[in-house]
Amino acid sequence: MASFEDFKLNKQLLGAIAEAGYEVPTEIQQKAITPILAGQDVLGIAQTGTGKTAAFVLPMLMKLKYAQGNDPRALILSPTRELAMQIEENIRTFSTYLDLRTVVLYGGLGPKTQKEQLQKGCDIIVATPGRFLDLYLAGDVPTKSLKFLVMDEADKMMDMGFISKIHRILEVVPRKRQNLLFSATMSELVRKIAGDFLAFPTVIEVTEQATPAQTVTQSLYEVPNLKTKLNLLQHLLQDDASFHRIIVFCKTKTVADNVFHYLERKYGEDHVRVIHANKGQNTRINSIQAFKDGHIRILVATDVAARGLDVSNVSHVFNFDVPIVVEDYVHRIGRTGRAFHQGDAITFCNPAERYYVDKIEKLIRQNIPVHEVPAEVFVEKTGFEERQAIAREIDNQKKKDDPDFKGAFHEKKYAIKAKANNAKGKKPKKNNRKRFS
């Protein structure tokens, strides 16, 4: 299909789409909008940054048409408050000329304002599962009129431990409804879980699951330690023209804060912000908005921002730490190269993280090109504590793959003992301990 007009959307929607600057529907939109308009359950898998939100929002708005009564008719569930806010923003953009009312519900704020908004009446609720259930159990969310149930980033929702809440929500929404599930990754386990509430869905797989967008150029630097990562990051960021809007992903809040303070000292507090779960809601909202508006150059974040953060023209994404949940790699690097723009994803990998890089390459079915650390970057010596931590992590990885693996220290001790016995002409004793299953 060449244009949105081919979907026979109403003039109000077409006008809002044109004003938002959308000209040609993406592949997921081309394949998903028609079956959703036809009332089918849809399971959609597509690369992040390819317009999945519009793929379910546009047909949903078309079918809801106008404000009706006080009870919500559509429920969209999201794993994080940032993504919930992003979806609500998309709905607001596309419903400019409609009188549909949307309420967004998430934790981190007192529920009083959200309750007042619900009492005024709404047509669409965008919510995180926990806050939705809290307000439902308090008697503030009527569900009998719900006709749509949408799960965005469905796999992450289940990975984050929301599955019990999802099943609880399924118990309180009408059986007769249209179900839509969308994500960039969809494992076989998630497909089976989705079978609990999707009956004969239309499966739309634009690309094989966990496929990075072709607009993203990936690269990998193998570095020995944290300080060398910081040195390499600073070296690359010297190119202001190319590295003009950057997200740096870290695996923990502590590392994110440390990287933020380092960059803040180098570039000033007006150019760097950090967001993670310990930051207040207003702080997180303001930081993301400042990044979107181009007021800051660098946003340091944990994976709380890996999904649903839709910012135009992010030039580079840095994986300062390799994600342990390997599917998150696809979502992290999907913050760049969005909407047909080109982007770069750069990953720093220490010896303990190579294990996860191998798993990522297996997941995405491609090798990430390895680049040499530039000669100008000073390679720091790995400190004792960090060296020990890396060694422990490598031991744990080997134990995951081989339950009989005893650890590097155990092997070294046994090798020394065996060498001593051989020198005395003795054979090492066999381990005759019984193993219990």
Give tens-digit pLDDT for 236-269: 999 988 898 999 999 999 999 999 999 999 998 8
Structural domains in the chain (count): 3
Q: Do 138 and 236 belong to one domain? A: no
Q: Assess whether pLDDT exceeds 60 at residue 410.
A: no
| pLDDT level of residue 436 (50, 70, 90 thresholds) | very low
Residue 34 inside a domain? The answer is yes
What is the rounded CA–CA span in Å between residue 248 and residue 319?
A: 6
| pLDDT value for 162 | 83
List, for residues 39-49, the tens digit of each pLDDT value. 999 998 876 66
Residue 310 inside a domain? The answer is yes
Q: Do 240 and 275 belong to one domain? A: yes
Give me the chain's average pLDDT, please: 86
What is the rounded CA–CA span in Å between residue 242 and residue 236?
A: 10
Q: Do 255 and 268 belong to one domain? A: yes
Per DSSP, the three-state class of 254 is helix
Per DSSP, the three-state class of 121 is coil
Per DSSP, the three-state class of 288 is helix
Residue 430 inside a domain? The answer is no
Q: Residue 72: what residue type?
A: P
pTM over 0.75: no
The DSSP secondary-structure symbol of 346 reads E
Residue 313 φ/ψ region, left for φ over 0, alpha for ψ in the -120 to 50 degree band, beta for the rest: left
| pLDDT value for 434 | 47
What is the rounded CA–CA span in Å between residue 274 and residue 263?
A: 10
- Domain boundary residue, one of 153, 180, 205: 205
Q: Residue 325: what residue type?
A: V
Q: Do 170 and 187 belong to one domain? A: yes
Q: Assess whether pLDDT exceeds 90 at residue 23.
A: no
Residue span of the structural domain in which 127 resides: 4-205
Place of tokens 């990562």: 229
| pLDDT value for 416 | 62
Q: Which residues contact residue 258 at a Cβ distance below 8 angstroms, ignoring those fewer than 6 apart?
A: none
Mean pLDDT of 95-99: 92
Place of tokens 């993280």: 353
Q: Tell me which of 75-89, 108-122, 193-207 is least confident.
A: 193-207
Mean pLDDT of 157-176: 85
Residue 226 inside a domain? The answer is yes
| pLDDT value for 435 | 44
Query: How many helices (H) does the chain have, and how many strands (E)?
Result: 16, 14
| pLDDT value for 16 | 93
| pLDDT value for 379 | 94
Place of tokens 């609990």: 196
Alpha-carbon distances of 193 from 26, 155, 189, 196, rounded to whole Å: 28, 10, 6, 6
Residue 435 inside a domain? The answer is no
- Domain boundary residue, one of 176, 205, 234: 205
Residue 84 inside a domain? The answer is yes
Sign of CA dihedral 266, 270, 273, 279: positive
Q: Residue 169: what residue type?
A: I
